[in-house]
Chains A and B, each alone.
Chain A
Amino acid sequence: MGEDKSDVLQGTLDLMVLKTLESMRSLHGYGIARRIEQVSNETIRLNQGSIYPALLRLEQRGWIKSEWGTSDNNRRAKYYSLSRIGRKQIEKETENWERIATTMARFLTTSR
């Protein structure tokens, strides 16, 4: 199983969190971590804890905001959601990532 999983690529976690929050609107840290694992079909090896420094990073930039709330099963948790700047930022970050991906793809095709 371990063979199929790969580490989170440097710099991609932030975008994953942003995209998760875009589709889920508002979610707590555990939810975000689980969602990323699920979406990746469990192919990403994520230390769930590392989501928190990433969340702090995004919050410091003002891209996401947080507030304490209560979950469905009545547990207190901190809920994160996208801010206005964050919403705009997703486009930029997506573009950025696609450019890198295309470039990478080009490298891979030419060297084949």
Chain B
Amino acid sequence: MDQLRILLSRCIAFCHRKELDRDLDDELRSHIEFAIEENCRRGMSEEEARTAALCEFGGVTQIREEYRVQRSFPFVETLLRDIRYALRQLRDSPGFAVTAILTLAVGIGANVVTFSVLNGIVLRPLDVPHPENLLQIGDYESYPDYFDYQDRNQSFSGMLAYKVLSVGIGIDKSVSTSWGDAASGNYFDVLGLQPALGRFFHASDEHGLESAPYIVLGYDFWKRRFGASPHILGKVVTLNQHPFTVLGVAPHNFHGTDFFFWPDYWIPAVNAQQVTGWDDFDERRHRAFTLLGRLNPGITQQQATHDMGAIARQLAKQYSDDEGLTLTVHKPGPAGRRNDPTKQVLLVMTLLAVLVLVATCANLAGIFAARAANRSNELAICLAIGSSRWAVARQLLTEAVLVSLIGGINGTCFASLLLGTLSHWRPGDLPTHFLIAPDARVYLVAITLSITSGIAFALLPARQVWSTDVVQAIKGGYVFAGSLHRFAMRDALLLIQVAVCTLLVSSVLVAVRGMVQSLRAPLGIAPTDVTLAQVDLKVAGVPDPQSRIVQKRLLDTAAAIPGVTDAATSDYVPFLSAWVWSVYSWDTTQFSPSHVAFDALTYSVSPGYFQVAGTHLLSGRDFTPDDKPGAPTVAIVNMTFARRLFGTTRALGKRFKLFDPVKLKIIGVVEDGKYIDPGEDPQPTIFLAYAQGIGPYMVSSPITVLVRSPLPQDQIADALHHSLSQVVSTAPFSIVPWSGAIDRSMIPARTAALALGVMGLMAAMLAVTGILGMASYLVSKRMKEQGIRIALGARPFQVLHSTLKRPCLLLLAGLCLGLGASMLTDQLLTHIVSYASVRDPMILAAAMTMMTLLGLFAMAAPARRALAIDPAQLLRE
């Protein structure tokens, strides 16, 4: 009770420090006056009375101090006083404050962004109970294999499978495209989830194909499409016109088991075939499912990999379709997948961010050391008039931590603004989410980084204070002891900084050049003025046999629109969607994975496609209406295809087989192009006649109508929508300009280039402030010496030479070191940026020029200062 009361009273006293100080002074004064009065009454003179009173009282200052210590929290009060003093110091040297704060904001901001992305994508576990023992098995596996793995393994207590579906969902007669998961019956049970509403489907609900027409809604989808209605249970929705009963709603924070893709709903996998028409269940070749398993207690990931690998080898022996099957077990999500590009890009970014932080740290250390040197006189005087070394060091520490915190907070604020924007970014119509807004962990890291860097860089000047020779200091000039041997460290700091900055700057140049090059690379199509209208005939409920008729009607309708100069159809189109088939050479008789020549992108197009797309036919002929069922099956291939399969581009009349196997004769060769993203390497590509289909898959369900028209984009889009909707009214058309789709496919490359650009800018900034700091420090340190030299007749060049020789040499050495390092990281860089390399002499030259310019720019101000030295004034001082 007493302790509590004391604490409370201390708190109150802390809030009224000034008032209480005044009170105490008044009280002590009245005490002394009482004493003087009494002493006078005893017959002392005024003077004697005062002396006696003070004597009886004891040390006034000590009592006051003792009183203060006991009154509230002396530590906090001292700290506040230090902070106030530090703020005053920073206000008095705004140049230093702004440089240091900006530098730190940059370094910490870059790291917060990178760490948030890393945290959101790699470190964040799936939002399910016990994510730590949930592992992904293989990359994409087939459903029959899944059953075998499930039955034969000893490592997992439960194993689930799922794949992503895109279907037309019908709710109260309105149909829209939506994305969901087809999952094994035990999906929710293995994950250990509880529904927010209703119930989940279970393995016991499945009794063979098409036996469980149930759907579980995602929480967000339920809110968005059903207004979070609790009466949704038992309602029937249609998926591609097939009825499904709503069983329940998934929990609020569960967004499926992929990291970016958030499904709208889940259906049992046994009913997926009914919806999509794809026979996934008996085909070991159709590897479309992601497998996750719960590890048995006591089993390690390595043991599980061993176990599953053995099963995969058994399966490979047993079934020809599983030939060469291998399997690894890894953490789910982008972090675990082998050769995951996201992971590689992230690693590079993290590396760069760490480099930025290293440069920041080197920079800050330089700035703080230079500042301590500039303040050497002031600090020495503090020591000389009785400040303890600890008090002076504490003051420096406070200042450094303050600067670091302000910088860190600024950097973090900026970073979270940037991340907020990124989190709301939705590329395309996929339900894709990036959960990368910084969380408590990220803020904690940011604060730790700030404080640690603050303390680390304050230690440097604090060490100088410790070893200061007070007498020397008062005499003036540069005084901190042992300054010479610390030169090595400062030099190293600048060297590291210049090297790191050169590395960053050259990375940026590579990125920029890569971007420019990839924009210049021929696309193999002329997308300007071409508009695409896409519809999924399966979603629209058009049965396969009729789709050729519907396709013809769509094509005729589009061609008849006034203002349309050319029209064609294709199933998939470059930059929007893609399909891949395995290619076999003509003499292959066994169609197992090991006999595949290569995989090729495949488009089923109507006659006239190349004209609309603007793709040049190099030899042979285009498709004609005569290429129909019953006629010999024909194909047009691109140059890469011809070169890969036949070793020559003269491929007319040559033949090959597709996976089914479909036998095809080449009737034309077209130019190479870009099909998925503008930075890709040349890919083998086949064009087939839409009317002829591919083996048993006579026609594919998605249809894209391509029209070329000089009309304004919105006008042609309206006209297309209006006319095509009259042909197919049961599913929505998505209408986009082709160039828009290409722009979208470039987002990843642009984002990477932008991120690199920002880092490069930071690096340039750090390089300038670092060199500036070092050079001005050298100038101020040698003011007196230079003054004497000038007085003795040194020419300006000689002065410059002697002051700036060192930073110049360091700049040069750092430059070489940085370029060497960037050569080593070339491999990593080419993963993100194609078309450019550090080894490019243009880039080398540009990086060198840029760093030299930055260096000269940074040294201009100190050089001016060195030249403006007035020996007379210096000597007077």
Contacts and interface: CB of A to CB of B under 8 A. Distances in A.
Interface of A: 28-31, 33-34, 47-50, 52-53, 56-57, 59-62, 71, 73, 75-78
A30 B67 contact: no
Nearest to B5: A62
Contact of B6 (A49, A53, A61): A61
Contacts of A60: 5-6, 9-10, 70
Please classify the interface of chain A as helix (H, G, I), strand (E, B), loop, or mixed, using the class held by over half of its residues.
helix
Given A60-B5, A76-B26, A28 B59 contact: no
B406 interface: no
Given A28-B34, A30-B35, A57 B27 contact: no
Given A50-B58, A53-B66, A73-B37, A78 B71 contact: no
Contacts of B821: none
B27 A29 contact: yes
Nearest to B66: A53
8 contacts: A28-B31, A33-B31, A47-B57, A47-B58, A47-B63, A48-B35, A50-B66, A60-B9
B626 interface: no
A45 to B, nearest CB: 10
Which 9 A-B pairs rank lowest in CB-CB distance, beginning with the nearest?
A47-B58, A49-B63, A30-B34, A49-B58, A60-B9, A30-B31, A60-B6, A49-B57, A77-B30
Interface string B1-27: 010011001100000000000011011
A35 to B, nearest CB: 12
Contacts of A76: 26, 30
Given A56-B70, A62-B5, A75-B34, A50 B63 contact: yes
B56 A52 contact: no
B60 interface: yes
B331 to A, nearest CB: 57
Nearest to A37: B56
B270 to A, nearest CB: 76
Interface of B: 2, 5-6, 9-10, 23-24, 26-28, 30-31, 33-35, 37-38, 56-60, 62-63, 66-67, 70-71
Nearest to A33: B31
Contacts of A49: 28, 31, 57-60, 62-63
Task: Indicate the member of B9, B34, B35, B58 with the most A CB atoms within 10 Å.
Answer: B34
Contact of B31 (A29, A59, A62): A29
Given A33-B31, A60-B10, 16 more contacts: A28-B34, A31-B34, A47-B56, A47-B58, A47-B63, A48-B58, A49-B63, A52-B27, A52-B28, A52-B63, A53-B66, A57-B70, A61-B5, A75-B34, A77-B34, A78-B26
A48 B57 contact: yes
B38 to A, nearest CB: 8
A40 B57 CA distance: 17
B40 to A, nearest CB: 12
Given A47-B58, A48-B35, A49-B60, A30 B30 contact: yes
Nearest to A57: B70
B10 to A, nearest CB: 7
Given A47-B58, A60-B6, A60-B9, A53 B27 contact: no
A48 B9 contact: no
Nearest to B53: A48
A89 to B, nearest CB: 10
A47 B28 CA distance: 13
Contacts of B31: 28-30, 33, 48-49
A52 B58 contact: no
Contacts of B67: 52-53, 56
B5 A53 contact: no
A77 B27 CA distance: 6
A30 B63 CA distance: 14
Contacts of B27: 29, 52, 77-78
A43 to B, nearest CB: 15
A77 B35 CA distance: 13
A87 to B, nearest CB: 16
A77 B24 CA distance: 11
A77 B32 CA distance: 11
Contacts of A62: 5, 9
A77 B28 CA distance: 9
Contacts of A61: 2, 5-6
A22 to B, nearest CB: 20
Task: Indicate the member of A33, A56, A57, A73 with the most B CB atoms within 10 Å.
Answer: A56
B31 to A, nearest CB: 5
A83 to B, nearest CB: 11
A28 B58 contact: no
Contacts of A57: 70
A71 B2 CA distance: 32
A48 B30 contact: no
A28 B30 contact: yes
Nearest to B3: A61
Nearest to B23: A78
A30 B28 CA distance: 9
A62 B4 CA distance: 11
Contacts of A53: 63, 66-67, 70
Contacts of B38: 34
Nearest to A31: B34
A93 B70 CA distance: 21
Contacts of A30: 30-31, 34-35
A59 B9 contact: yes
Task: Indicate the member of A49, A59, A77, A78 with the most B CB atoms within 10 Å.
Answer: A49
A70 B24 CA distance: 16
A76 B22 CA distance: 14
Contacts of A71: 34
B62 to A, nearest CB: 8
Task: Indicate the member of A29, A48, A59, A78 with the most B CB atoms within 10 Å.
Answer: A48
Contacts of A77: 27, 30, 34
A77 B57 CA distance: 16
